[in-house]
Amino acid sequence: MKILFLNGPNLNLLGQREPEVYGRTTLAAIETKVRERAKKLGAEVEFRQSNLEGDLIDWIQGTPGKFDVIVINAAGYTHTSVALRDSISAVSVPTIEIHISNVHAREEFRHKSLLAAVCYGQIVGFGVNSYVLAVEAAVNVNADQE
């Protein structure tokens, strides 16, 4: 099975960005952890990041027939992007929303996700471990679909 990990704006700065909120692990180090877990579970992973909404939308549109599950940390776009939500709705690929921080324990504008209702489920607030847990969740979701 193939899992596409998508990372939205500012996640390229992980490691130096607000470490008190997001920790000191870089996105590259997260990718390594994700690959290790995926290998153990027999899954293939592709890992991408963009600061551009359109890139994320193009990547989601490109998933049918190529990926079994999408895992997305849409970062700030989670709370604002109807277009991203529509692209998740438009493809029939099950999608898992993840966040490093517990968005519900933060500012009120982060409590609302425009993506949640069109996602299979959410993993929120486990620090960078949210990514590793998402590998496990994606494998389970895929088994559910079969």
Catalytic residues: 22, 99
The token duo for 110 is: 């982060």
Task: Please give the residue ranges that form the binding site for ligand DQA (CB under 6 A).
Answer: 10, 73, 75-76, 78, 99-101, 103, 110
Whole-angstrom distance, CA of residue 62 vs CA of residue 56: 10
- Residue 117 or 143 with smaller CB distance to ligand DQA: 117
Question: Which amino acid makes up residue 82?
Answer: V
Please identify which residue in the block is written with the tokens 């079969």: 146
Q: How far is the CB of 92 from ligand DQA (least distance, A)?
A: 24
Q: How far is the CB of 76 from ligand DQA (least distance, A)?
A: 4
- Residue 26 or 101 with smaller CB distance to ligand DQA: 101
User: Which position's Cβ is nearest ligand DQA?
Assistant: 75
User: Which residues have a Cβ under 8 Å from the Cβ of 29 and sit 6 or more positions away?
Assistant: 15, 128
Q: How far is the CB of 40 from ligand DQA (least distance, A)?
A: 24
Q: What angle do CA 84, 92, 48 make, to 5 degrees?
A: 50
Instruction: Give how far Cα 87 sits from Cα of 83, 134, 143, 145, Å.
Output: 6, 20, 23, 20
- Residue 67 or 131 with smaller CB distance to ligand DQA: 131
